[in-house]
Structure 1
Amino acid sequence: MKLVLVRHVETFGNVEHRLNGHTESDYTPRGEAMKEILVEELIALDKKLSFDKIFASPTTRAYKIAQAVGAVTGKEIQVDHRLREFNFGIFEGKTRDECIEIFQSEWDQWMANYINYRVPQGQSQREYHDLCAEFLTELTEGETVLMVAHGGTIHGMLTNMLNLPLDCKWHFDIKLGSITMIDYNHGFGMLSHMTTPPYDELIPHPTPLTDAKKSAMRAAARAEAKTKAAHKKKK
Structure 2
Amino acid sequence: MSDAIKDRLLDATLMHVAFDGWSETSFRAAVQDAEVDPVVARALFPRGALDLAIAYHRRGDALMVRRLAETDLSGMRYRDKVAFAIRARIEAADDREAVRRGTTLFALPMHAADGAKLIWGTADAIWTALGDTSRDVNWYTKRATLSGVYSATVLYWLGDDSLDHQATWAFLDRRIDDVMRIEQAKAAARGNRFLSGLMAGPNAILSRIRAPERPEDIPGSTR
In terms of fraction of residues, the more strand-rich structure is 1
> What is the TM-score normalised by the length of structure 2?
0.27
**Larger radius of gyration, structure 1 or 2?**
2
Select the structure with the greater relative contact order (CA < 8 A; seq sep ≥ 6). Answer: 1
Q: Which structure dedicates a bigger proportion of its chain to helix?
A: 2
TM-score, scaled relative to structure 1: 0.26
